[in-house]
Structure 1
Amino acid sequence: MLKMKSLIAAIGLGVVSATTWAADITGAGATFPYPIYAKWAEAYKKETGIGLNYQSIGSSGGIRQIRAKTVTFGATDAPVPGADLDKDGMVQFPAIIGGTVPVVNLEGFKPGELRITGPVMAEMFMGKISKWNDPKFAALNPGKKLPDQAITVVHRADGSGTTFNWTDYLTAISKEWADTVGKGAAVKWPAASSVGGKGNEGVAANVSRVKGAIGYVEYAYVKKNNMNFLQLQNADGKYVSPDDLTFAAAAAGADWFSVPGMGVSMVNAKGANAWPVSTASFIVMYKEPTDKALSKDALKFFDWAFAKGKNMAAELDYVALPDALTKQIRERVWTQIKN
């Protein structure tokens, strides 16, 4: 009798499902897309009997593992530059679109009740605005009784594509942030009152624990943990809330093949309904994989996800890639992988 491994549902432990007759697909990296990869993996296993072992360890960890050839694919929210892909003999393609969201721990306010602009948020993350009743934040929220409470910045402690996208946004809207901190998977956080958390899970947990905290997580973690979030002003001057519609609006104008490796930035995208910190999460694979069978299985998994996983993505407020784009990925990217 075949002995089946159980699905490990805990965030951060990965998705594991296997039989004695079928090897697992292996992947590692970004925590941003973990909720949808877990959902896809469970459904795919039920349909095909093939499992996915995905380690939710952060984008930087995922890139390290694919370069070490210990996994079939790496996953990253910080796209690998085209020159590095060429040097390593790899390809890259987006798998899902979502949004990074400012989350707070403030009593007495409903999710989305408070508003913020990018420049004011940059000052919070720099530590220049250190109290919730600061006049700059209060001016954006007239009539709200804001507490005389210290702000604690919660950030990623590990190398993170979510951090890359968050700091990419702050760099785009604040010259001071761009000049003093910049963007990257890991940066030196300037706020005196700050605390790190590992993965989106760790940031969500610390924001929920620390009174007066502000942090940034992928929207699926907002929903899962019933977190309070701030409305954010977009490039058109409109205040918007995060959801699949505002993420899709930001992605609408993306020219995916204009950048090597399809690594398009969608931060601060134009559009009245666009969420300002929308992003794709990417998959990185070798053109000449060590294990061709597992590489082929990985492509079958993403092919299935593109075709059948749209409703599951919508349930978690991710945005599935449009069919026209997935057709191009199959024709222009996957054909470079020699399975």
Structure 2
Amino acid sequence: MKMRVGAAALASAALLLSACAANEGGGTPGGDAGGGSALSGTLAAAGASSMASAQEAWVAQFQTANPDVTVNYSPDGSGAGREAFTGGGVDWAGSDRAMKPEEVAPEALASSRCAEGSSAMNLPVYISPIALIYNIEGVDSLQLDAPTIAKIFKGEITKWNDKAIADQNPGTTLPDLQITAVHRADDSGTTENFTDYLNAAAPKVWDAEPDGEWPYKGGEAAPQTSGMVDAVTNGTGTIGYADASRAGDLGVVKVKVGDKYLEYSPEAASAIVTESPKVEDPGLSPNDQSIEIDRNAEGDVYPIVLVSYAIACDQYKDPKTAELVKAYLSYIASPEGQQEAVKSAGIAPLSDETSQAVATSLQAIK
């Protein structure tokens, strides 16, 4: 299957990322980028654009340490990544949602690079808040609760000085300005996580099921994370949602949790993941590490968070591919790899427990 590369992806830095995979030592629990690797070959991957900045950092470390192994990661979006994986276009995929049992079953992977009869595993490698970004001249601070956010993105609140917004922002002068709510045009894991939050936290308003494709008409559509950020930045009275590492100088909404309005932070994002249970489903691989986010958790937690997964075969047709996948993914999920992404992309690092669980799952790849 030919990999698709969107125009917005091509416009951002390092949209086809080249790097070196970890040596065999880096493929063990607690491994690192390694050096003096005996591995060679090329890995192809595609998927979540939210991970682009982190992937740049991860692959840079690998390129320095392992000059004979190249990893190409194309941040075309989660839906494109999953499609490329199941269609056999890439060795592993990045996705802002876990693939479902029916998507990772052996029959669904018949055209993939997985061995015949193999299923696939979802492995969390990237945790980040989803920031609600906005561009309203003269408004430096904005607080919103879940029902108000839902009504804005559903098109039921259309002016920034609407009473529902003004009542939550005393002392802030809000303009009599049309709201332009921007959503993703592509099938996006960020959208699925955002709509999952709206459905869980404001079910009386947001009556659509969580989905990677935008469920309602209206608003403005933008492709991929870079397109979303560009649309909000270049618009007037705009609001959108994007991986927090890409918020830049845009305004960021404080979201109501319980009786407080909270800013996003890596710590608050990590906290809600810690509070959330692992998905238990007999249809998933025994090596699967999917997490079911509790969007209504209270305390110092940030509820609009995405967990990006590396999706890999339990068993590959080519043992050499299996070896390279294990080495590369073991590095990015390791404490060293996570800290590299903390510095470069501001992610919330995996807990030691989660990192070890992912490492154990990776060792089962054949």
TM-score (norm 2): 0.82
C-alpha root-mean-square deviation of aligned residues, in Å?
Answer: 2.1
1:130 Cα deviation from its structure 2 partner? 0.1
* CA gap 1:188/1:256 in 2 versus in 1, 3 angstroms: closer
Specify which of 217, 223, 232 is matched with residue 242 of structure 2: 217
1:64 Cα deviation from its structure 2 partner? 0.6
* Structure 2: distance between partners of 1:108 and 1:286: 50
1:82 and 2:101 are equivalent in the alignment: yes
* CA gap 1:90/1:38 in 2 versus in 1, 3 angstroms: same
Asked whether the equivalents of residues 266 and 277 of structure 1 are also in contact (C-alpha less than 8 Å), the reply is: no
1:69 Cα deviation from its structure 2 partner? 1.4
- In structure 2, what residue type is equivalent to 1:117? D
- In structure 2, what residue type is equivalent to 1:90? A
1:98 counterpart residue number: 128
2:357 counterpart residue number: 328
Q: Per-residue CA shift, 1:109-146, capped at 9, x if unaligned? A: 22xx2100011000001111000000000000011110
1:65 Cα deviation from its structure 2 partner? 0.6
1:3 counterpart residue number: none
Specify which of 72, 76, 79 is matched with residue 53 of structure 1: 72
* Structure 2: distance between partners of 1:183 and 1:83: 17
1:22 Cα deviation from its structure 2 partner? 3.7
1:174 and 2:192 are equivalent in the alignment: no
Q: Per-residue CA shift, 1:7-58, capped at 9, x if unaligned? A: x994472212479x94222110111112111111111211222332101011
Specify which of 127, 151, 165 is matched with residue 193 of structure 2: 165
1:199 counterpart residue number: 224
Structure 1 segment 16-95 matched on structure 2, within 5 A: 16-17=18-19, 22-49=40-67, 50-87=69-106, 88=109, 89-95=119-125
1:313 Cα deviation from its structure 2 partner? 2.2
* Structure 1: distance between partners of 2:338 and 2:364: 25
Q: Per-residue CA shift, 1:89-119, capped at 9, x if unaligned? A: 2111111111111111111122xx2100011
* Structure 2: distance between partners of 1:43 and 1:119: 43
1:175 Cα deviation from its structure 2 partner? 2.1
- In structure 1, what residue type is equivalent to 2:96? D
* CA gap 1:267/1:125 in 2 versus in 1, 3 angstroms: farther
1:120 and 2:148 are equivalent in the alignment: yes
Q: Give aligned-pair identity as a percent.
A: 22
Q: SS state of the match for residue 310, structure 1?
A: helix
1:183 and 2:210 are equivalent in the alignment: yes
* Structure 2: distance between partners of 1:17 and 1:213: 36
2:292 counterpart residue number: 265
Asked whether the equivalents of residues 150 and 206 of structure 2 are also in contact (C-alpha less than 8 Å), the reply is: no
2:5 counterpart residue number: none
The unaligned stretches of length 5 or more in structure 1 are 1-7
Asked whether the equivalents of residues 11 and 201 of structure 1 are also in contact (C-alpha less than 8 Å), the reply is: no
Structure 1 segment 212-251 matched on structure 2, within 5 A: 212-222=237-247, 225-234=248-257, 236-251=258-273
* CA gap 1:168/1:33 in 2 versus in 1, 3 angstroms: same
- In structure 1, what residue type is equivalent to 2:56? A
* Structure 2: distance between partners of 1:122 and 1:257: 26
